[in-house]
Amino acid sequence: MNVFDPRTFSTDWEHIVVDRLDRCVDTRRLLGFAGALFTELELPIIVDKESLEFPLGINTSFDQLWERIRRTTDRACALLREYELDLYPAAAHPQESIYNSSHIHVGTILDETAGLHLENHLLRYAPVFAALAANSPVAHGMYLEFKSYRVRDNAQENIRPGMIRDPRTSQRIWGDDLGPKLNMAPTFEVRITDCASSRRLLAELVVFTAAFVHSRGERIEEASVSPEEYLEYLINRWTAARDGMQATFRWHGHPRPVAVILDEMLDSCEAELVVLGASRARLPLINEMVRKRVCQADMVIPLARRYPDPYLLANAYGKMLRHWEWFEEFLESASALEPRPMPSDGEILAEHLKLIGEGTHLYQTRETMSFPPPAADAVRAQLTTAGQVAEEFILERGLTLSRVSGSKP
């Protein structure tokens, strides 16, 4: 028997709102719009931090979700334009310090113990969802080193890498990449996904994620995740943030392009897609993204190169985001991209070295890939042995690191 019964799904879709001068609208003004939309659409629309959040109700079919997405955004856009405001459906803003998501809720699950075992099983797939949804190649002044700065920066503590959890010794936690969330609604939440800019892609992404999670709910056993597998997950998470659909993951110790993994995942949940009123054939955008190794971040990159000034980019980006089919049009004409190589051990060391300056606290190096203590200590030891980093213990601060002159990442 499947742990998910009945089969349901939804998304909490977060939107920045901007005025005609490309300024982000503050929470106080957003509250009035949330209240009006809540009443009119009979959906629990709220304000979360500095964004309008559209929770799209309990859905049992692809068509039901698609109709709600269109109806909600059509009405929200019309209402906001009466006040010369616009939705800005992006995972990050070129200038403002805001990160947004399309959190995916997969229901219905009542067994939290089973949900925690499922979390351990699915952790390795979280970076796959991150690569598919990557949509933040620019973020408050940072440009084009990553396809998802939101995942790289853990969305300013609104997401964080998951942990291997034993239900017998675990408490409810909030913010992990994915996991059971029974304290509010009986769902399994996938938080790692960036905000979608395309309505149709959002619908496809949500129903695919739900179907894949449902497909893993049939037989849930206690997971045995080794330290090496957990380290792979953390490296793959960073790789997904950097490379999006061009990523090559470490998969059971071997290089494997994320597009290949996604292709297998789509085939594996075909029966579950049918239960939700969908099929792989009804996911043309995702199929094309897999074939071309392209994500939403790739449509933003040419625009960001054209407008290196973040204020000018914010204006041009906002105009493009008003067209819900921008990504579909881009994807149709986009050339296929080649997969990037799997990060080598040397690249991993170099990424850690980038964060070390003069008197850098030991814990700052953890911001690179969130390695657990033994792996982080091994990286530090390699850098020290290679003569690239010097260590100093200060009673008031603990262990600090300084890059040796001439050492380059």
- Cα separation, 208 vs 276, in Å, equals 9
Share of the chain above pLDDT 70, in %: 100
Within a 10 A sphere around the Cβ of 29, how many other Cβ atoms?
13
Displacement of CA 359 from its chain's centroid (Å): 32
**Predicted TM-score of the model (pTM):** 0.96
Does the pLDDT value for residue 409 go beyond 80? Answer: no
Over residues 167-199, the pLDDT tens digits come to 999 988 889 999 999 988 999 999 999 999 999
Q: What is the CATH number of domain 345-403?
A: 1.10.10
Q: State the pLDDT confidence band at 123, using cuts at 50, 70 and 90.
A: very high
Q: State the pLDDT confidence band at 224, using cuts at 50, 70 and 90.
A: confident
- What pLDDT score does 29 carry? 93
99 beta partners: 92
**Mean pLDDT of the residues in the chain:** 95
Over residues 335-381, the pLDDT tens digits come to 999 999 999 999 999 999 999 999 999 888 889 999 999 999 999 99
DSSP secondary structure string for all residues of 140-167: TTEESS-SBHHHHTHHHHTSB------G
CB burial of 341-366 (b: ≥16 within 10 Å; e: otherwise) equals ebbeeeebbbbbbeebeeebebeebb
- Cα separation, 244 vs 293, in Å, equals 8
Asked if the peptide bond before residue 373 counts as cis, ω within 30 degrees of 0, the response is no
Q: State the pLDDT confidence band at 221, using cuts at 50, 70 and 90.
A: confident
Displacement of CA 266 from its chain's centroid (Å): 19
Pairwise pLDDT comparison (222 vs 255), residue with the higher score: 255
CATH class of 8-333: alpha beta
Residue intervals of the chain classified under CATH 1.10.10 are: 345-403
3-state secondary structure of 253: coil
Mean pLDDT of the 52-56 span: 97
DSSP secondary structure string for all residues of 353-392: HHT--SSEEGGGGGGTT---HHHHHHHHHHHHHTTSEEEE
Residue intervals of the chain classified under CATH 3.30.590.20 are: 8-333
| 92: its two tokens | 């990050």
- What pLDDT score does 408 carry? 75
Q: State the first-to-last Cα distance of the chain, in angstroms, to the nearest integer.
A: 51
